[in-house]
Amino acid sequence: MATKETVPGEIRIFLNHIYEFKKGVRNMVLYTINKEYEDFAVKRLESQHISYLIQEVGTRKINLFFGKRECLDTIKHIVNRPLNYLTPEEDFILGSMLGYDLCQQCRRYCQKKENIMVAV
């Protein structure tokens, strides 16, 4: 009798992100995934000729950016440190590139700018 292999939830979500990218739902994806799945993810992206970047997040996780080459070329200039150290402007650009709601990004930007003004 054949055994049924269970696909981990993190991999199913990753594969859904690839599906959405290929269908044109988004131009770029950011997915934080356990490092144990890095080889699988990289092989899948490379086999489908999808550009990607990897950012280390501690010892057990990575941020996996993938999508259109021009988006990733831009990300190389913006995301050169942990995401929580991005300026409000960089955070706004990243969120917009990822397709987050523009009005929510505007509110988030203004809140971050206000917090900086209060801290100074």
The structural domains of the chain, with segments of one domain joined by +, span: 1-80, 86-120
The Cα 18–Cα 85 span in angstroms is 27
pLDDT class of 4 with cuts at 50, 70, 90: low
Portion of the chain with pLDDT greater than 70, in percent = 96
Helices 88-97 + 69-78 axis angle, to 10: 170
- Structurally, at CATH architecture level, domain 1-80 sits in 2-Layer Sandwich (3.30)
Of 93, 95, 89, whose CA–CA distance to 113 is shortest?
Answer: 89
| pTM (predicted TM-score) | 0.88
- 60 close to 34: Cβ distance less than 8 angstroms: yes
Q: What residue type is 20 in one-letter code?
A: E
